[in-house]
C-alpha cells in the first residue's frame, strides 16, 4: 500500500475523477527523488555520451550540455502535456472558466499526474540549483523556485488547478528554446544558436509578459463576477478577497523577476545586433 501511494495517484472518486488528500504527499515525495535519479541517469548514460559524438574535449562543457539536454527534454515533454490538458479543457484561451463553476474539486487522471509531477520537479529544482555551478542570478532563481512551489501547492489545495495549468504553460515554452539554444552554443553552432535564441526572445515577452499579465488581470478583476468569495473549506471554497490579494502578490513578484530577466535578454539581443554571438549574461566567462 505504501509503494502504491508513491507510484500511483490516490483518491479516485469516479470515472476519470480524482480528488486530493494527504496521500498525495507520498507521490510528490517519491517523484522528487525519482527526478533526481532520472536527471543523473539520463545525463550520465544518454546526454553525456551524445555530447561525446561531437568530440567535445571539455568535461565541463559536456556536463553543461547534459544539464541543458535534460532541462530541454523535461520542458518539451511537460509543456506539450500541459497544452494538451488545456486544449481539452474549458479554460482553453478563456479565463472566465478559471472561476465559472468553482470549486473544481475533481480533476482528470492526466491532470493530477501532470500537476503533482510538476510540483515534485520544482521541489527538486531547489536541490539542482545548489549542485549546478552558481550563476549571478542565484538568489533570484531561488526566489522564483520558492514562489512557484507556493503557487503550485496552494492552487492544488484550493482547487485552482485550471489557472495553475495556464501559468505553467506560459512559463515552460520559453525554457524549451533557451535550453536548446544553450546546447547549440556548447556544440559550437553559434549561428543556429542565435536563431533559436531569437525565437526564445520572441516567445518570452508573448508568454511571460502578455499572456501571464492576462492571467493576472483575470485574477484581479473576474472572480467577483462568478464567485461568492466566501471561505467555506467544507465545500472546497478557499477564494476570498484576502486570498485573492495573496495570489496577486505572488503573481506580481513573479512578474518582477520576469522583467529582471527580460532586461538580461535585451542585453544579449543588443550584443547579437552588434555582431556578437548570443551569450548567457548570467554565467561567468567559461
Alpha helices for 21-108 (secondary structure H)? 24-42, 48-52, 59-87
Using an 8 Å Cβ cutoff, are 252 and 151 in contact? Answer: no
The pLDDT of residue 270 is above 60: yes
What are the pLDDT digits (tens) for 178-234? 999 999 999 989 889 989 999 999 999 999 999 999 999 999 999 999 999 999 999
The pLDDT of residue 42 is above 50: yes
pLDDT band at 235 (very low <50, low <70, confident <90, very high): very high
The residues, ordered by sequence, that sit 6+ positions from 158 with a Cβ below 8 Å of its Cβ are 103, 238, 239, 243
- Model pLDDT, residue 53: 86
pLDDT band at 254 (very low <50, low <70, confident <90, very high): very high
- Model pLDDT, residue 52: 83
Q: Which one is predicted more confidently, 20 or 134?
A: 20
Distance CA 76, CA 205 (A): 19
pLDDT band at 280 (very low <50, low <70, confident <90, very high): low
Angle between helices 241-273 and 138-157 (to 10 degrees): 140
What are the pLDDT digits (tens) for 49-75? 988 888 887 888 899 999 999 999 999
Amino acid at each position: 500500500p505504501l509503494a502504491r501511494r508513491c507510484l500511483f495517484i490516490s483518491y479516485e472518486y469516479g470515472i476519470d475523477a480524482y480528488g486530493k488528500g494527504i496521500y498525495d504527499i507520498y507521490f510528490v515525495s517519491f517523484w522528487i527523488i525519482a527526478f533526481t535519479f532520472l536527471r543523473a541517469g539520463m545525463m550520465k548514460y544518454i546526454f553525456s555520451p551524445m555530447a561525446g559524438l561531437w568530440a567535445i574535449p571539455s568535461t565541463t562543457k559536456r556536463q553543461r550540455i547534459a544539464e541543458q539536454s535534460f532541462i530541454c527534454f523535461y520542458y518539451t515533454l511537460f509543456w506539450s502535456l500541459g497544452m494538451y490538458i488545456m486544449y481539452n479543457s474549458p479554460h482553453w484561451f478563456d479565463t472566465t472558466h478559471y472561476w465559472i463553476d468553482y470549486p473544481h474539486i475533481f480533476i482528470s487522471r492526466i491532470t493530477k499526474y501532470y500537476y503533482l509531477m510538476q510540483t515534485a520537479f520544482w521541489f527538486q529544482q531547489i536541490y539542482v540549483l545548489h549542485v549546478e555551478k552558481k550563476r549571478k542570478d542565484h538568489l533570484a532563481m531561488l526566489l522564483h523556485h520558492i514562489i512557484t512551489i507556493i503557487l503550485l501547492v496552494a492552487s492544488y489545495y484550493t482547487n485552482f488547478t485550471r489557472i495553475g495549468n495556464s501559468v505553467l504553460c506560459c512559463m515552460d515554452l520559453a525554457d524549451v528554446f533557451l535550453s536548446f539554444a544553450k546546447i547549440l552554443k556548447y556544440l559550437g553552432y553559434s549561428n543556429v544558436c542565435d536563431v533559436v535564441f531569437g525565437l526564445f526572445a520572441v516567445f518570452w515577452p508573448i508568454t511571460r509578459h502578455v499572456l501571464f499579465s492576462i492571467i493576472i488581470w483575470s485574477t484581479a478583476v473576474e472572480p467577483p463576477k462568478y464567485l461568492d468569495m466566501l471561505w467555506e473549506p467544507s465545500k472546497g471554497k478557499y477564494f476570498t478577497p484576502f486570498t485573492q490579494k495573496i495570489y496577486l502578490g505572488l503573481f506580481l513578484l513573479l512578474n518582477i523577476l520576469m522583467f529582471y530577466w527580460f532586461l538580461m535578454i535585451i542585453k544579449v539581443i543588443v550584443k547579437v545586433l552588434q555582431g556578437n554571438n548570443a551569450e548567457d549574461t548570467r554565467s561567468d566567462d567559461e
